[in-house]
Chain A
Amino acid sequence: MKPNADDHWLARPTTIKLLWRVFAVVLALTVLAQVFISVKGYFGVDGWFAFGAVFGFLSCLAMVLVAKGLGFFLKRDEDYYAEGDDDV
């Protein structure tokens, strides 16, 4: 696909693909670095290999899912409160 000439280089698909690759490499490096650098565990588990990575990912997953679930109950139209004001 030919990148749109008007568009910013940062927004081109090729750049984005490259950024993903770099990101993947950086992610792998931060985990692998734990082979050389020991992370002090205050409670045992937090010193395990790649604990930060797994814990970070899973807690984000949990928070997004909880937010999504709560959203079903909590989300309302933007003018939800405005409607209430009108029928005084």
Chain B
Amino acid sequence: MFELIPPAIYLLIGALLIGVTRGNARTAVLFLTPLVTLWAVWQVPDGVVLELPFLDYRIEPIEGSPVRRLFATIFAGMALVGGLYAFRQAKWYELAAAYAYAAGAVGVSFAGDLISLFLFWEVMALFSTVVVWCGGTPAARAAGIRYAVMHLLGGVILKVGIEGVVVHTGSIDVQPMLANNFDTWMMLIGILINAAAPPVSAWLADSYPESSPTGSVFLSAFTTKTAVLALILLFPGESVLIGIGLFMVMYGIIYALLENDIRRILAYSIVNQVGFMVCAIGIGTQMAINGAAAHAFAHIIYKALLFMSAGAVVYRTGMNKCTEVGGLFRTMPLTAICGIIGALAISGFPLTSGFTTKTMISQAAADESLAFVYMMLAAASAGVFLHAGIKFPWFVFFQKDSGLRPKDAPWNMGVAMVIFSVLCILLGVAPELLYKYLPYPVEYEAYTAGKVLFYTQLLLFSGLAFFLLLPLMKRTLTISLDTDWLWRVLLYRIGRALTATTAAIGNGVAGITQSLLSRLQSLAIRHMSTGANKEKPGVFARTWPIGSTALWIAVLLTGYVLVYYF
């Protein structure tokens, strides 16, 4: 009986229970719900498990496959460790929203048809917006609205695509397709919006850093990675994704280099990392899809770890900017060490999870003789170390002594960070733990001497470049414009200009009407005034008396009678 309940439902129920429980009961709900979900995820066998009638369709809310279980596992695991990280600091409604958000992600993972996929997709959009709003500041409110607009728009575009595909093919199945007509393009665009692909990557770095220190940990995990899973399921081998992925990779690096806000650096680096996965899905070979899935799995862990480390700093110091912090390693050693482990993992240092997963993507590019892609990915790997691997820990924990002496992370945050740090290293030294759950059989050896040496050279000399170029990277109190300038400023200005123009036209029309009316009025007064207000009576008013009217009628009638008879 339990196997007919979609695993996402457990998380949704948990989210509801968080609201109605208090104290220890709530803590129990927070920990048990993701555990039950994890158990449920692993009960889902391959193939369609549940079919339900919905309107004229048969929807399939539960369909299992290795890649679906892999993503659902890390989503549920993320809810568990994220819950541990947040449960003593976050507001209950943030936790509830985060769990419902995770439920959306798990739901998408097992959605066997486009209708259920869309439904859970929107659940994510809804509750992630709430998580952004839980930042609680006016900036968070505004960013949340922009975030919601972008995701609702993305949802509509996705829905247009789904409708088109359903009408034209008659199938609502989630199955591989290529973007070769309007419908499939709409679907692809709708998914890519959630993946923070260009030209709308800005929504991610705009909203995530405005959330609470705990909220950004949840936000970093779900939306973009469900988009990656959707791309794996729907558009594997769609070659346009290679170019989009490479652009995202470089975009993330450049913007992160320019950024001063600690969590915004990490937000840009999400775009960069998702770019690797999108590119791999575009390559589309078994090696590439394995690489994308493995990298997504590892990425959720080390990116959440980085956001946890940054979140602990923001929580303890109340500061968000590189220019305000520095030297925190003195009093926050655990947060610093965990942050550094996350930073090494994201950079793909040997013995970390980034190395054993990201190199699969490079290998896939090499196997397909995609020299340009391979070189760009290698350059990007160096760039990741530059913008996230060193920049983040350096400016936050070392750099100058800011004089701040905050306490280290609270114990629950610390335990969560240690768990994810251990996982980063575990998947680095024992990658086969992950490899055996990948969608295709893995024939890949991560640790060959040549490969290790190549990446060690690449990364260490990137480190050298960082320290030599430090003067060029002096942090400034600035933000960087992005395409969202088009709607946040240009569209706003156009809107204001239009309002001003229509107002001016309205005023002009009103003025003309006014003067016409007053002219009519004075005409009326001139001709029809009775003279009651002491002006000269009007010409019509003068003929007003009934006596003269009767006289004139009598004259006319007489005239008429005379004419009639003669």
Which residues from chain A sit less than 8 Å from chain B, CB to CB?
Answer: 7-8, 10-11, 23, 26-27, 30-31, 33-34, 37-40, 42-43, 46, 50-57, 59-68, 70-71, 73-78, 80-81, 84-85
Contacts and interface: CB of A to CB of B under 8 A. Distances in A.
Given A43-B374, A46-B378, A53-B457, 18 more contacts: A11-B401, A42-B369, A43-B375, A52-B454, A53-B460, A55-B375, A55-B378, A55-B458, A56-B458, A56-B465, A57-B462, A60-B465, A61-B469, A64-B465, A76-B481, A78-B479, A81-B489, A84-B488
B135 to A, nearest CB: 15
B215 to A, nearest CB: 21
B509 to A, nearest CB: 25
Contacts of B371: 42-43
A55 B250 CA distance: 16
10 contacts: A27-B464, A30-B456, A43-B371, A52-B457, A57-B461, A59-B382, A60-B382, A76-B481, A78-B478, A84-B489
A34 B448 CA distance: 13
B461 A52 contact: yes
A50 B461 CA distance: 10
B462 A56 contact: yes
Do most interface residues of chain A lie in helix, strand or loop, or is the interface mixed? helix
Contacts of B458: 52-53, 55-56
Interface in B346-371: 366, 369, 371
Give the dominant DSSP class at B's interface: helix
Interface residues of B, number: 52
A57 to B, nearest CB: 4
Contacts of A84: 488-489, 492
A31 B457 CA distance: 7
B203 interface: no
Interface stretch (B38-46, B184-192, B240-248, B251-259): B251-259
A56 B348 CA distance: 13
Contacts of A10: 329, 398
A7 B398 CA distance: 13
B119 to A, nearest CB: 34
Contacts of B456: 30, 52
Contact of A56 (B369, B457, B469, B477): B457
A31 B464 CA distance: 13
Given A56-B462, A57-B464, A74 B481 contact: yes
Contacts of B330: 8
B383 interface: yes
Contacts, number: 149
B449 A55 contact: no
B283 interface: no
Interface in B442-476: 448-451, 453-466, 469, 472-473, 476
B374 A54 contact: no
Contact of A7 (B401, B459, B479, B480): B401
Nearest to B449: A37
Interface of B: 142, 250, 253-254, 257-258, 327, 329-330, 366, 369, 371, 374-375, 378-379, 382-383, 386, 398, 401, 448-451, 453-466, 469, 472-473, 476-482, 488-489, 492
A75 B462 contact: no
Nearest to B400: A11
Contact of B457 (A30, A42, A81): A30
Contacts of B449: 37
A67 B451 CA distance: 29
B88 to A, nearest CB: 29
A66 B250 CA distance: 11
B257 A40 contact: no
A69 B496 CA distance: 32
Contact of A76 (B250, B398, B479): B479
Given A74-B480, A75-B479, A53 B461 contact: yes
Contacts of A77: 477-479
Contacts of B488: 81, 84
B374 A56 contact: no
Which of A26, A59, A71, A85 has the most CB atoms of chain B within a 10 A radius of its CB?
A59
Contacts of B482: 74
A80 B460 contact: no
A26 B457 CA distance: 10
Given A52-B461, A61-B469, A66 B453 contact: no
Nearest to B455: A52
Nearest to B371: A43
Contact of A30 (B329, B453, B477): B453
Nearest to A4: B401
